Amino acid sequence: MILAIPDVLDSAGVQAVRALIDAGTWTDGNATSGHQSALAKRNLQLPEDSAQARQAGAMILDALGRNPLFIAAALPRKIYPPLFNSYAGGQAFGTHVDNAIRLRAGSDFRVRSDLSATLFLEDADAYDGGELTVEGQFGVGAIKLPAGHMIVYPASSLHRVEPVTRGRRVASFFWIESMVRDDAARQTLFDLDASVQALAADRGHDDAQVIRLTGIYHNLLRRWADS
């Protein structure tokens, strides 16, 4: 599943996050890289243990908790605390696959990375390049979204960030451990939920077919979900 989720943050939310992170001290982005990623990664990153990263990350997590499209698509069990990166002056991140398990330094917190997410925090017309390119089942997609919008995609996908040739690309990125680890099963549940919601809007939630399909959704979720 590759899904764009609009307006995770509104303009005020983007400005509040940027005010926090822009005041931080940015360092070499390879601080959180695995071996493969370190060979391809050229960017700056806000240290994840900084006060600015923690505050801004909490704002994003709060926004995600209020976003029904994200919850329906990701079925999140755990979310790695959001990180922040910046690309400028030709910086890029070559083709790679995200680590299967993400460990938070200095703690026992870990996440199985079923999904990766990028939340864009800079206006798309303020920089050239910087597309997130994801290689999926049906080809290659280059993604560049407005500030406040987010893309979610399988962490198992080959992906890269194209060189930024003008301006500065700023984003938050993180990983999601879903209650349903299989991407095809998660896609089926998402499609079924969307159909149930559309049918309920037309017929009402007490319609017999809506109730029946809702039951099917929950029985499939019960079968596929990790407790």
Binding site as annotated, residues for Fe cation:
96, 98, 159
Given a contact cutoff of 8 angstroms between Cβ atoms, the answer to whether 173 and 119 are in contact is yes
Bridge partner list, 226: none
Place of tokens 């493969």: 36
Known binding residues: 96, 98, 159, 169
Question: What is the C-alpha to C-alpha distance for residues 79 and 58, in angstroms, rounded to an integer?
Answer: 11
SS3 helix, strand, coil % of the chain, rounded to 5? 35, 30, 30
Of 113, 122, 94, 86, the closest CA to residue 174 belongs to: 113
Known binding residues for 2-oxoglutarate: 169
